[in-house]
Amino acid sequence: MEGLSQAARATLDGAELVMGAARHRALVPGLRCEWIEWPVPFADGIPLLLAQRGQRVVLLASGDPFWFGAGSSVTRHLARDEWVAHPAPSSFALAAARLGWALQETICLGLHAAPIERLRPHLAPGQRLLVLVRDGAAAGMLAGYCAALGFGPSTLHILEALNGPRERVRRTLASDFALDDVAHPVAVGIDVAGEGAVLPLVSGRDDAWFASDGQLTKRAIRALTLSTLAPRPGELLWDIGAGSGSIGIEWLLAHPANRAVAIEADPVRADRARANALALGVDRLRVETGRAPACLPVDAPDAVFVGGGLSQALLDTLWTCIPGGTRLVANAVTLESEALLASWQAARGGALLRIELADAVPLGQRHGWRSRYPVVQWSVTR
């Protein structure tokens, strides 16, 4: 098999059983041991592999299995002394070598089984992306997606079967994509260009990024709220009364390892929050339809935001169930909610912040200030 190290060849020669995709079988002629084809979807093969415990099993995977590959999906089910890996150059390394791109300056994404919308936060003129896609049809979908968002002038490098006898590299503009013979395995290098809208990096994105029926934490308040929630890598947020999902979505945009559960009582708004998350490339937002505290998640949060449904019962339950060190932020607009937060701050500490904003609006031939409803924010660490 081309690209195998000496140690990998020795491992393959000593195998009692070999597993892999159908295309891998053709790369190991003269195989003398039993062969099991790995099924689709990939997860269905895990029980087949685990059933072979006690045998010398080789699983064939392309490139570096721990760089957007199959590695961790398999090894999480095994003890550390049950496996050894022999990585080859990854598809990203091979693609960068063909294009002359600095890999450390290139965004790398694996979209074999992930929605194409994960591209969205990275689409900005001048950016370079290397994307692994499922097949040729997916490459066409990627081109159409870029063009529909205003990035049609982006150059797409279509890289097929890298480092093998079928290797082929072609180039086209996203708006001109017309290739109907793109063969798996395929990677796409995207040199982003165009006039499409670019998603800002900081929290407090413009309200227009979020579809809404008006139930939305507005941009300035959202920026202050996210600053107070202070997301850190890998943390979990509970977003209670999520509305359009903007707080949870921006929490996820802060870092790719972050997690968020949005709780929304209105099914229509819950669906809208899911759609907003997908459109902005953070499909990992988990949306629970229901009313807190009855449907609070099981996983302990690192931070909790209460944007709707604030009540004495909710705060009582939260204070009982969240672990020490959890950051809690609650926003209130009504007098009754303000009074509730003031009483909790007096009893539990933390900080109260009153946020008053005003917008310039026409006033006859001139302009004047129109005040928005003030927002009172309580923030505390449990």
- Domains identified in the chain and CATH numbers: 6-82 (3.40.1010.10), 91-191 (3.30.950.10), 207-381 (3.40.50.150)
Read off the tokens for 340: 């509730």
Res 5: pLDDT:
64
Res 4: pLDDT:
59
Instruction: Lowest mean pLDDT of 60-69, 177-186, 259-268, 315-324, name the range.
Output: 60-69
Taking only the tens place, the pLDDT of each residue in 18-59 is 999 888 887 777 788 899 999 988 899 999 999 999 999 999
What average pLDDT score do residues 174-187 get? 95
Res 2: pLDDT:
45
Contact 269, 242 (CB under 8 A): yes
Res 31: pLDDT:
82
What's the burial of 69, exposed, middle or buried (CB within 10 Å: 0-12/13-18/19+)? buried
Res 44: pLDDT:
93
Res 24: pLDDT:
83
In which order are the strands placed within the sheet that holds 351-355? 286-289, 259-264, 236-240, 303-306, 327-332, 375-381, 351-355
**Angle at alpha carbon of residue 232, lines to 317 and 124, rounded to 5°:** 125
What average pLDDT score do residues 362-367 get? 96
Q: Mean pLDDT of all residues in the chain?
A: 94
Taking CB atoms within 8 Å and a gap of at least 24, the contacts of 290-298 are 290/263, 290/265, 291/263, 291/265, 292/240, 292/241, 292/263, 292/317, 293/317, 293/318, 295/263, 296/238, 296/263, 296/321, 297/238, 297/261, 297/263
Q: Are strands 57-59 and 17-20 parallel, antiparallel or unpaired?
A: parallel
Q: In terms of pLDDT, which residue wins out, 29 or 301?
A: 301
Res 11: pLDDT:
78
Is pLDDT at 251 greater than 80 in this prediction? yes
Q: State which H helix or E strand residue 363 sits in.
A: strand 358-363
Is pLDDT at 69 greater than 90 in this prediction? no
What average pLDDT score do residues 259-288 get? 97
Res 239: pLDDT:
98
Nearest residue to 292 (alpha-carbon basis) of 272, 275, 307, 271 = 307
Taking only the tens place, the pLDDT of each residue in 190-208 is 999 999 999 999 999 999 9
Taking only the tens place, the pLDDT of each residue in 333-342 is 999 999 999 9
Is pLDDT at 1 greater than 50 in this prediction? no
Taking only the tens place, the pLDDT of each residue in 152-171 is 999 999 999 999 889 999 99
Taking only the tens place, the pLDDT of each residue in 112-145 is 889 999 999 999 999 999 999 999 999 999 999 9
End-to-end Cα distance, the chain: 57
